[in-house]
Chains A and B, each alone.
Chain A
Amino acid sequence: MPFATAMPELPIVAPGLCLLTDPAVVWLHLLSDVAIGLAYLSIPLVLIVVLLRRRDLAYPWLVGLFATFILSCGATHLMHAFALFQPAPIAEGLLKALTAGISVAVAATLWPVLPRLLALRSPAALAREVEERRAAELRARDSEARVATLIANLAEAIFVVRVSPEGTLALETVNPAFERMLGLQADIVLGVPAEQALPPVLRAAALPHWRRAAAEGETLEYEIAADLPTGRRAWQTVLVPMRGADGRVERLLGSARDVTATRRLQANLIQSARLATVGTMCAGLAHEASQPLNTALLWLRRIRSVAGPLPPGQQAGLERASAVMEEQLRRAGELVARMRALAGDETAQAAQFDATQPVAAALRVAASQYATEEISVTLRGTGEELPAKGSAARLEQAVLQMLANARDAVLERRRAEPAAIASIEVALRREGGRIVVEVCDTGTGLDEALRESIFDPFFTTKEPGRGAGLGLPFAAGVARSMGGAMEAWNLPGGGACFRMEIAAADQALPSAAAIGIAAA
């Protein structure tokens, strides 16, 4: 329908609107305004959908404002189109004014916001950042895996102790070295209160330090030693407390190093030096004492041979007196001989022999003797030949001394507990370049305060007259002369173990005897 028909009475228009008399121009305006209006109505819809779906958008109010602005612009254009049919100058003007207000508001708002809008990262920058983050994360994960591998394969024991608000301590994480070193399995000890998880010897040695570190919140370094079934072991430990946000110590990070070998070496050196000192002293003393004893015994023989026939009563008296003197002098002579044996025969040619032979021989002697006392003696050996260098006879005597010591401990315990098990177990084996003889008993065990002294000559815990305190020092002296040493520890179930190490003959080892003493 032509405009002329639709709008029969065109208003008197201002000269600028005269163009609208041309129907083509009117169509142009009408269609454009309608198109713009509809488009402007649809754009806010899109914006509203975006706003609703993307709640995380920066400046959502700005988008809303924009939507309102476009909506009002669209309304203005539609109104313009409507006005072609039915002029409504007032309504159109009011609408235009509203749009103007909104437009000005939007413009006024945009300018101050501009710097902040410019500061917003572009999607490309964001993508770049995301990529960088992902790479960093990968690196972190990689490094974490490396650290985890390192901890899992570390020779040091690593452990984390969780400290509950009530003060209960429980292992939270341990590495394989921890399990190996302490003979504990992670799946059994983790999460269990330490009082129950740790074996008694470790509990007694370690827990006081854990408690102290948890209470004081300061890094602690300490060394503990405990008698395990395999021997006395020593660990050097560092505990680092980790505090939570509230300042409470929540965890203890621990690392422990097995220093048994170092401590053993030090103990061996001390033992060796002590034995060398007392060995020299004993050898000198034995020599000095042997001279007057020798002379006295020789002259006693003279008395007997030169004494002429005496009246029967006096003859018997002389016999008795000289017998007593001889017996006492011989006793002193035996003591001198034992002291001499302690120093060892450093000048003797060392011969190679199979260590299983003298050990088995000593065991046969002891087993038959102790059987009458109802003490069982058993030998656990590997059956292989164990070549050693030194004197087989002295090794046999040394093992006999160790066995006699075990027997005394077992008998002493029996006096207190008549029903106690009385057994002595001897283990003979090779450990690397060393031959190990272990004598473990079910006796009274070692007094912790005296264990430093048990290898010192004339040191004895036995009643007077029962052992001169030369047995274990003799054994230690033999071990030393064969390139080894002795040590002792208590067994968890009671009793003690004495371990003698000597160098295997097919191994060139630096021997403790290299320090040496001059004996002859």
Chain B
Amino acid sequence: MSKVNRVTRRILVAEDEALAAMAIEEELLGAGYEVELAPDGQAALDAARVALPDLLLTDLRMPRLDGVGLIRALRALAPELPVVVMTGYAPLGSTESFRRTGEGPVEVFAKPLDMDAVLAALRRLLPAEG
């Protein structure tokens, strides 16, 4: 089957581990998404102000602006923005703490990431149009 995405979906990736970010970028490109990388929360926010992404894929612990701060700031711009969180910290499976940041859907994945599960979540959150 050929790719049917008429409009390519853009994903903003906020991840301070450059090597991990590069591998994630490769995976997302391979899955047919457009990718923008940001090395920290502030850079991600700046990029989003220029052009709003369709989805945010973010780490939690980052320099300058952390993941929760970034989600809050982005939700102010786009309340319905879907978010996927990748974290090495505790709140496994609990999306409760992120619900408080706004209305949009949130999925949380623990590191090390199960990339297949992450890709499945992206497909759920960004259904192909048409």
Binding site for B on A (CB under 8 A): 283, 286-291, 293-299, 301-302, 305, 329-330, 333, 336-337, 340-341, 343-349, 519-520
27 A-B residue pairs with Cβ-Cβ distance under 8 Å, sorted by A, are A283-B89, A286-B88, A287-B61, A287-B88, A288-B88, A290-B110, A290-B111, A291-B111, A294-B20, A294-B86, A294-B111, A295-B19, A295-B20, A297-B112, A297-B113, A297-B115, A299-B19, A301-B115, A330-B112, A333-B112, A337-B92, A340-B88, A346-B90, A347-B94, A348-B97, A520-B89, A520-B97
Rounded to whole Å, the gap between the CB of B47 and the closest CB of chain A is: 22
Contacts of B90 in A (CB 8 A): 283, 286, 340-341, 343-347, 519-520
Contact of A520 among B24, B27, B60 (CB under 8 A): B60
Q: State the CA gap A29–B121 with chains docked (Å).
A: 151
Q: State the CA gap A340–B94 with chains docked (Å).
A: 13
Is there an interface contact between B96 and A347, defined as CB atoms closer than 8 Å? yes
Q: A298-B27, A336-B111, A337-B110 are in contact. List 9 more A-B contacts (CB 8 A).
A: A290-B88, A291-B88, A291-B111, A305-B26, A340-B92, A341-B90, A345-B94, A347-B90, A348-B97
Chain B residue nearest to A339 in the complex (CB): B90
Binding site for A on B (CB under 8 A): 17, 19-20, 23-24, 26-27, 30, 60-61, 86-92, 94, 96-97, 110-113, 115
Rounded to whole Å, the gap between the CB of B41 and the closest CB of chain A is: 15
Q: Which of A340, A341, A520 has the most CB of B within 10 A?
A: A520
Once A290-B111, A340-B110 are accepted as A-B contacts, the answer to whether A298 and B23 lie under 8 Å apart by CB is: yes
By Cβ-Cβ distance, the 3 closest A-B pairs, closest first, are A290-B88, A298-B23, A290-B111
Contacts of A287 in B (CB 8 A): 61, 88-89
Chain A residue nearest to B60 in the complex (CB): A520
Contacts of B24 in A (CB 8 A): 298
Q: State the CA gap A305–B28 with chains docked (Å).
A: 13
Once A291-B111, A294-B112, A297-B113 are accepted as A-B contacts, the answer to whether A520 and B92 lie under 8 Å apart by CB is: no
Contacts of A336 in B (CB 8 A): 88, 111-112
Is there an interface contact between B89 and A298, defined as CB atoms closer than 8 Å? no
Chain B residue nearest to A286 in the complex (CB): B88
